[in-house]
Amino acid sequence: MFKKILIANRGEVAMRIIYACRELGIKTVAVFSEADEDSLHVRFADEEMRIGPARSADSYLNVPAVITAAELTGADAIHPGYGFLSESAYLAEVCEACHIKFIGPTPQVIRLMGDKARARRVMRKAGVPILPGSDGPVEGEEKALKIAKDIGYPVIVKATAGGGGRGMRVVRAPGELSQAVKTAQREAEAAFGVGDVYLEKYVESPRHVEFQILGDHHGGMIHLGERECSIQRRHQKLLEESPSPALSEKMRRKMGSIVIDAAKAVQYTNAGTFEFLMDPDGRFYFMEVNTRLQVEHPVTEMVTGVDIVKEQIRIAAGERLYLKQSEVTFTGHSLECRVNAEDPETFVPSPGLIRVFSVPGGPGVRLETYAHSECTISPYYDSMIAKIITHGRDRPEAIARMKRTLEMTVIEGIKTTIPLHLRILADPDFIAGKVSTAFMDRFLARPSGSRLAEAV
Amino acid sequence: MDLDQLKQILDLVREHDLSDFELEGEGLRLKIRKSGGVAAEVPPAPAAAGAAPVASPPQASPAPAPVSAALAVTGPVDSVPQDVELAIVKSPIVGTFYRSSEPEAPSFVEVGAMVKKGQVLCIIEAMKLMNEIDSEYDGEVVDVYVENGQPVQYGERLFAIRTT
**For the complex shown, is ipTM > 0.85?**
no
Which residue is closest to B94 within chain A, CA to CA? A51
Size of the A and B interface in Cβ pairs below 8 Å = 61
- Confidence at residue A449, expressed as pLDDT on a 0 to 100 scale: 46
Report the candidate in A216, A211, A222 with the shortest Cα–Cα distance to residue A244.
Answer: A211
- Name the pLDDT band for B20 (thresholds 50, 70, 90): confident
More confident residue, A20 or B68: A20
B153·A50 Cβ contact <8 A = yes
User: Chain-wide mean pLDDT for chain A?
Assistant: 94
Residue A31, pLDDT > 60, answer yes
pLDDT tens track for A36-78: 999 999 999 999 999 999 999 999 999 999 999 999 999 999 9
**Farthest CA pair distance, chain A:** 67
A419 vs B88: CA distance, rounded Å: 48
A213 vs A82: CA distance, rounded Å: 16
A51·B155 Cβ contact <8 A = no
- Confidence at residue B47, expressed as pLDDT on a 0 to 100 scale: 37
- Confidence at residue A398, expressed as pLDDT on a 0 to 100 scale: 98
Domains and CATH numbers, chain B: 1-58 (no CATH), 69-163 (2.40.50.100)
Q: 10 Å Cβ neighbour count for A30?
A: 31
More confident residue, A260 or A168: A260
pLDDT tens track for A422-433: 999 999 999 999
Residue B117, pLDDT > 90, answer yes
A34·B57 Cβ contact <8 A = no
Question: For testing the chain A interface, which of B54, B91, B94 should be mutated: the one with the most A CBs within 10 Å?
Answer: B94
Residue B140, pLDDT > 60, answer yes
pLDDT tens track for A209-254: 999 999 999 999 999 999 999 999 988 999 999 999 999 999 999 9
Interface of A with B (CB under 8 A): 29, 34, 37-38, 42-43, 47-53, 59, 64-65, 67-69, 71-74, 98
The catalytic position among A10, A16, A227, A292 is A292
Residues A377-395: what's their mean pLDDT?
Answer: 97
> What is the DSSP track for A106-120?
-HHHHHHHHSHHHHH
Pairing between strand A384-392 and A333-340? Answer: antiparallel
Shortest CA gap B78–chain A (Å): 38
> What is the DSSP track for A184-225?
HHHHHHHHHS---EEEEEPPSS-EEEEEEEEE-TTS-EEEEE
Let me know how many helices (H) and strands (E) chain A has, helices first: 16, 20
User: Phi/psi of residue A138, each to 5°?
Assistant: -85, 140
Q: Which range, A113-122, B41-50, B115-124, has the best average confidence (pLDDT)? A: B115-124
Shortest CA gap B7–chain A (Å): 26
Shortest CA gap A103–chain B (Å): 20
A406 vs A359: CA distance, rounded Å: 8
- Name the pLDDT band for A82 (thresholds 50, 70, 90): very high
- Confidence at residue A377, expressed as pLDDT on a 0 to 100 scale: 96
A48·B94 Cβ contact <8 A = no
Pick A48's closest partner by Cβ from B52, B126, B156.
B52
Report the candidate in A30, A88, A97, A100 with the shortest Cα–Cα distance to residue A63.
Answer: A88
- Name the pLDDT band for B21 (thresholds 50, 70, 90): confident
| Cα torsion through A365, A370, A371, A375, rounded to 10 | 160
Q: 10 Å Cβ neighbour count for B16?
A: 8
- Confidence at residue A456, expressed as pLDDT on a 0 to 100 scale: 44
Shortest CA gap B129–chain A (Å): 10
Pick A68's closest partner by Cβ from B50, B54, B126.
B126
B153·A34 Cβ contact <8 A = no
Instruction: Give Cα A363 to chain centroid, integer Å.
Output: 26
B132 vs B134: CA distance, rounded Å: 6
Residue A125, pLDDT > 50, answer yes
Interface of B with A (CB under 8 A): 50-55, 57-58, 93-96, 126-127, 129, 151, 153-156
- Confidence at residue A198, expressed as pLDDT on a 0 to 100 scale: 85
Residue A290, pLDDT > 60, answer yes
A365 vs A363: CA distance, rounded Å: 6
> Does residue A355 carry a catalytic annotation?
no
Report the candidate in A30, A23, A45, A39 with the shortest Cα–Cα distance to residue A78.
Answer: A30
- Confidence at residue A85, expressed as pLDDT on a 0 to 100 scale: 97
A37 vs A378: CA distance, rounded Å: 11
User: Chain-wide mean pLDDT for chain B?
Assistant: 75
A269 vs A315: CA distance, rounded Å: 8
- Confidence at residue B10, expressed as pLDDT on a 0 to 100 scale: 82
Contact by Cβ (8 Å): B123, B137: no
Which residue is closest to B97 within chain A, CA to CA? A72
- Name the pLDDT band for A195 (thresholds 50, 70, 90): confident
Residues A382-402: what's their mean pLDDT?
Answer: 97
A73·B95 Cβ contact <8 A = no
- Confidence at residue B7, expressed as pLDDT on a 0 to 100 scale: 79
Ranking A158-172, A198-212, B29-43 by mean pLDDT, the lowest is B29-43
Q: What percent of chain A has pLDDT over 90?
A: 83
- Confidence at residue A230, expressed as pLDDT on a 0 to 100 scale: 97
Pick A72's closest partner by Cβ from B50, B53, B57.
B57
- Confidence at residue B52, expressed as pLDDT on a 0 to 100 scale: 36
Question: For testing the chain B interface, which of A7, A44, A50, A61 should be mutated: the one with the most B CBs within 10 Å?
Answer: A50
B23 vs A411: CA distance, rounded Å: 40
Report the candidate in A206, A359, A232, A344 with the shortest Cα–Cα distance to residue A296.
Answer: A232
B129·A64 Cβ contact <8 A = yes
Contacts of A29 in chain B (CB under 8 A): 55
Residues A359-363: what's their mean pLDDT?
Answer: 98
- Confidence at residue A165, expressed as pLDDT on a 0 to 100 scale: 63
Residue B51, pLDDT > 60, answer no
B95·A68 Cβ contact <8 A = yes
